């Protein structure tokens, strides 16, 4: 039986840390759907179309990964995709409390869906989309923590740096 996993997130934008987690998940599960949250309540730097396009380009080398978007409850989406697994990345203990709560909440809502945590590479333990946006915005370099296509889009967004 093939196991399909959903790796959900805001991906605003996708970073090398996310790519690492997606690649590790793709090595374990038959199919991985990287799914970008459409969140009308949260202001995002990039539109959902841009976030999907960046993720798609950055993950095109992994054949069993597809990129999609979702809104509403994650567990409803996971069921609709007939996936049995949710993937989340862990960078540090500080991530754990939030992730633990979310995993338990999702289990309460959908007991048949399993959350799997994948631990990041230590070299990405400090990388987050929000810090990438902020560092770039204030003129710092993020070259090593985002893929080239994301770097180019950040340059376009925040003018040529």
Contact call for residues 129 and 51 (beta carbons, < 8 A): no
Cβ neighbourhood burial of 144 (10 Å; 0-12, 13-18, 19+): exposed
**Interface with ligand PNS includes 13 (CB under 6 A)?**
no
Annotated active-site residue 42? The verdict is yes
Annotated active-site residue 63? The verdict is no
Residue 1 CB, shortest distance to ligand PNS, in Å, is: 25
Q: Which of 10, 18, 44, 133 is catalytic?
A: 18
The torsion angles phi and psi of 43, rounded to 5 degrees, stand at: -80, 125
Contact call for residues 13 and 158 (beta carbons, < 8 A): no
**Interface with ligand PNS includes 28 (CB under 6 A)?**
no
The only residue of 106, 146, 150, 154 in contact with ligand PNS, by rule CB under 6 A: 106
Q: What is the rounded distance in angstroms from the CA atom of residue 14 to the CA atom of residue 114?
A: 24
Residue 3 CB, shortest distance to ligand PNS, in Å, is: 19
Q: Site residues (CB under 6 A) for ligand PNS?
A: 8-10, 37, 73-74, 102, 105-106
């Amino acid at each position: 039986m093939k196991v399909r996993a959903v790796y959900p997130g805001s991906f605003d934008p996708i970073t090398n840390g996310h790519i690492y987690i997606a690649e590790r998940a793709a090595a374990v599960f038959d199919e991985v759907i990287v799914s970008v949250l459409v969140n009308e309540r949260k202001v995002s730097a990039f539109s959902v179309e841009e976030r999907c396009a960046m993720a798609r380009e950055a993950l095109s080398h992994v054949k069993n990964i597809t990129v999609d978007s979702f809104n509403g409850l994650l567990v409803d989406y996971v069921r609709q995709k007939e996936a049995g697994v949710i993937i989340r990345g862990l960078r540090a203990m500080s991530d754990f409390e939030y992730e633990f709560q979310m995993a338990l909440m999702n289990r309460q809502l959908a007991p048949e869906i399993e959350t799997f945590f994948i631990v990041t590479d230590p070299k990405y333990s400090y990388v987050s989309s929000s810090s990438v946006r902020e560092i770039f915005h204030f003129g710092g370099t993020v070259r090593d923590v985002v893929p080239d296509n994301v770097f180019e889009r950040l340059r376009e967004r925040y003018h040529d740096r």
